[in-house]
Homo-oligomer: A and B are copies of this chain.
Amino acid sequence: MIHIGVLGGGQLGRMLALAGYPLGLQFIFFEPAEEAPAEHLADRIVGDFDDHQKLQELTDQVDVVTYEFENVPVSAARFVAERRPVYPPAAALEVSQDRLIEKTFFERLEIPTPPFVAVDSLDHLKRAVQQIGLPAVLKTRRMGYDGKGQEILRSAADVDAAWQRLTGTPLLLEGFVAFQRELSILAVRSRNGEKAFYCLVENEHRQGILRLSRAPAADVPAALQAQAQRYATAILEQLDYVGVLAIELFEVGGRLLANEMAPRVHNSGHWSIEGAETSQFENHLRAILDLPLGPTATIGHSTMFNLIGTLPDAAAVLAVPGAHLHLYGKTTRPARKLGHVTVRADDIETLNRRVAEMRRVLGAGNE
């Protein structure tokens, strides 16, 4: 029996375990929080990421380690990697945890990004604004997620206030991109170098939080899919990456700019549980175990809705044909991802009808 250690015990870990049990795997989650979505369906060690004794306890019990949370301290990943194989490699965490390192890394691989400048003082910021122009987005270099740690600068009058709100940690100013749409690609690479790619997915965010993903994205020319796969391939190979990698992209004038990457299974890939021949969760596990990757082909068309802050009536959701409910077992809290619903259909017309119905069910909170 192969035992997988997972750093983090959130919904991504929960869905990894659900995909892994059929492969005969067992899971041990390492998670600082007392309450964790993965807690009821696998063993768990409650510990802080700097508690080497607890981390040792994990590595003693498992064959391979992965993570489901990209803010796992690199030092924890390195400590574990000295004892057991860790996939994706700790270097991927290092790159993705700092927006400046990440964007510089993209640049080095000739992956286009929005313009960006590091900002260390108000003076710097003012010079950066002149260089990049407005609107622009001031972001913390580290620990930003779900729209946290970001301020949009629309006019020069916003600069001081934004600086006041974010100062105290290294910052980055990015050009505000008037994109046509937000896309993402999920790629996976196994230990022996086999690679597979899912279709480009179209994402809608509100208040910085992903609300909806459509898979496949509509009207994607083959060249655009190929461009996304080239970006992903460059990253996978540069990092000797193993596992699922997500890249968030902006489509601007027919080309793709890389916004950020996540070295893990990703919210914009949840549709793959029902909407692809092999889910991102199963392919992540296959990759880190050096098993053949499964087909990433879509099965019909899917739209995934995140359930944020409040839960809809389960019966009403399940009354929509082709609706698949995924709850994470979390307590309700504003702006918290509590679950998701994927609506699937064989053809886009049927999907559109079902999606319209689902929007009525989810109402203002989650539509």
Q: Which residues of A are in contact with B by a Cβ distance under 8 Å? A: 1, 14, 17-18, 21-24, 26, 40-43, 277, 286, 290-292, 294-295, 299-300, 314-315, 318-319, 321-329, 339, 344, 346
Given contacts A277-B344, A292-B319, contact A24 B327 (CB under 8 A): yes
A321 partner, pick from B42, B295, B339, beta carbons under 8 A:
B295
A-B contact pairs, 7 of them (CB 8 A): A22-B325, A26-B329, A277-B321, A277-B344, A291-B315, A292-B318, A295-B321
Q: Chain B residues near A318 (CB, 8 Å)?
A: 286, 291-292, 294
A41 partner, pick from B21, B294, B324, beta carbons under 8 A:
B21
Q: Chain B residues near A321 (CB, 8 Å)?
A: 277, 294-295
Per CB-CB distance, the 10 closest pairs between chain A and chain B, nearest first, are A24-B327, A292-B319, A22-B326, A292-B318, A41-B41, A295-B321, A291-B318, A291-B315, A26-B40, A18-B18
Q: Chain B residues near A40 (CB, 8 Å)?
A: 21, 26, 42-43
Given contacts A299-B299, A314-B291, A318-B286, contact A24 B329 (CB under 8 A): yes
Contacting pair B291 A22 (CB below 8 A): no
Q: A323 CA to B291 CA in the complex, in Å?
A: 13
- A14 — nearest CB in chain B belongs to which residue? B21
A18 partner, pick from B21, B277, B328, beta carbons under 8 A:
B21
Contacting pair B18 A22 (CB below 8 A): yes
Contacting pair B314 A295 (CB below 8 A): no
Q: How far is the CB of A11 from chain B (nearest CB, A)?
A: 10
Q: A33 CA to B319 CA in the complex, in Å?
A: 38
Q: Chain B residues near A326 (CB, 8 Å)?
A: 22
Q: Chain B residues near A299 (CB, 8 Å)?
A: 299-300, 346
Q: Chain B residues near A286 (CB, 8 Å)?
A: 318
